[in-house]
Structure 1
Amino acid sequence: MADTAKSKPAATKKSAQKSAKPRPEVRFRMRIRSADAVALGPGKVALLEAVREYGSISAAARSLDMSYRRAWLLIDELNRSLKSPATHSEQGGQSGGGCTLTPVGETIIRLYRDVEEEAQRSCAKQIAELTRLIRS
Structure 2
Amino acid sequence: MRNQDRLPKIKLRLEYDVPLVLGPGKAELLTLIDRLGSISAAGREMGMSYKRAWSLVEEMNAAFAEPVVDSSRGGSGGGGATVTANGQQVLRLYRALEKMLADQGAEEIRALNSLLK
Equivalent residues of 1:30, 1:41 under 8 A apart: yes
**TM-score normalised by the chain length of structure 1:** 0.77
Partner of 2:11: 28
AA paired with 2:55? L
1:57-76 matches, cutoff 5 A: 57-76=39-58
How many residue pairs match? The answer is 115
AA paired with 1:97? G
Distance in 2 (alpha carbons) for counterparts of 1:70 and 1:115: 26
Partner of 1:91: 73
Higher relative contact order, chain-length normalized (CA < 8 Å, sep 6+): 2
Q: What RMSD in Å do the two structures reach over aligned CA positions?
A: 1.5
**Structure 1: unaligned runs, 5 residues or longer:** 1-19
State the shift of 1:88 in Å.
0.5
Distance in 2 (alpha carbons) for counterparts of 1:116 and 1:131: 19
Percent pairwise identity? 37
Dislocated runs of 4+, deviation >4 Å: none
Structure number with larger C-alpha Rg: 1
Equivalent residues of 2:68, 2:85 under 8 A apart: yes
State the shift of 1:110 in Å.
0.6
1:107 and 2:89 matched: yes
1:129 and 2:116 matched: no
State the shift of 1:24 in Å.
4.7
1:45 and 2:27 matched: yes
AA paired with 1:91? R
